[in-house]
Every structure is written in C-alpha cells, then in structure tokens.
Amino acid sequence: MITQIIEILKGDITQLEVDVIVNAANEHLIPGGGVDGAIHRAGGSSIREEAKVYIQAHKLLNPGEVMSTTAGLLRAKRVIHTVGPRYKIGEDRSDQLRNCYKNSMVLAEEEGMSSVAFPCISAGVFGYPIREAAEIAFSTVVEVLAHQSTVKRVYFVCFDEVNFSIYNQLYQELTTG
C-alpha cells in the first residue's frame, strides 16, 4: 500500500538518515544552488571529486540520466545525481522528468538500497510547474515500486511550504481517492 511506502516531508534533505539521497544536479555535476548546493556543502568534497571523475569520462549528465557517488559527510549511504529537464512552454519534457525518478529508483535497487529521498526535481529554478512535476514524480515512483524488490521506503522532501502543500495535497488525493 502506498501509505506504508511513501512519505511526504518538509525540511532539509541533507539531514535525513536514508540509504540514498537523490540530487537534482546540473549537467556538469558541479555544485550549484538549491538542493544541489546544499548536498555538496553538507556532504563535503568527496562527492564533487567522484562527480568530476564521471564528467571527465562522460562529458555531461543529460536530463533523465543518473549516476551515483559517495554521500561523503551526509547521513545517507549514497547520493544519486540526476538532471531534471528545464521547463519550456510548448515542449513536452515529461519523459525526461519521469526518467529522473525511474532511473534513480532502478539505480538504488541495483545498489541494494532500501530507502530513497527525492527532492522536488525541476520544480525550482528549472521552472517545472509544481503540481505537474509532483504528479509525474508520484506516478513514476508508484509504477516502479510495483516492480521493485529492494526499495521499501520513498520520501519526497519539500524544502518550502508551497511545494510541501502541493505534494501533500496530491498524496492525499492518491491515497484517499
């Protein structure tokens, strides 16, 4: 049942004690603003060093793709980095956003992780409408969980009240309707 697996939280994702924290990264995997900057600041330089090695070998991480690094000083075991799509009116980038969640869940399972914390991917400076981004996040995670064996807990962590309210409202609709 979804209510036993998924939880909506408001707060700082870097403070969670989970197996995996998903980072809403930029394509160069360099520390940026928002959740990305917070994860790099709290996790320390080892995250950046592993990301740098990846970029040297692959050049960029494209929207929807994932890679993982150590969690450094975070309470998590790993950080999965994914690049959300930048929202553009008239362009459907929902598949890229879906892939952020799907590929993160698949990688978490491949690495034997049982708990995953997601930020609100693309719903900040990348401009995705929050409700639409949340619907994609929920539907994708629920679909993947139906076929997962190792992931037992998923947290959607909202930094501000606006995102938390929208995610929580959608969660209530899904679990009561």
Cα–Cα dist 3/176, whole Å: 10
95: annotated active-site residue: no
Helix ranges (DSSP H) in 44-176: 45-58, 94-110, 130-145, 161-176
Q: Tokens in use for 82?
A: 């994914």
CA end-to-end span of the chain, whole Å? 13
Cβ atoms within 10 Å, residue 127: 14
Contact (Cβ atoms closer than 8 angstroms) between residue 91 and residue 101: no
Nearest CA to 154 out of 106, 117, 99, 120 is that of 117
Q: Which of 36, 92, 95, 160 is catalytic?
A: 36
Q: Tokens in use for 43?
A: 């996790």
Just list the catalytic residues: 36
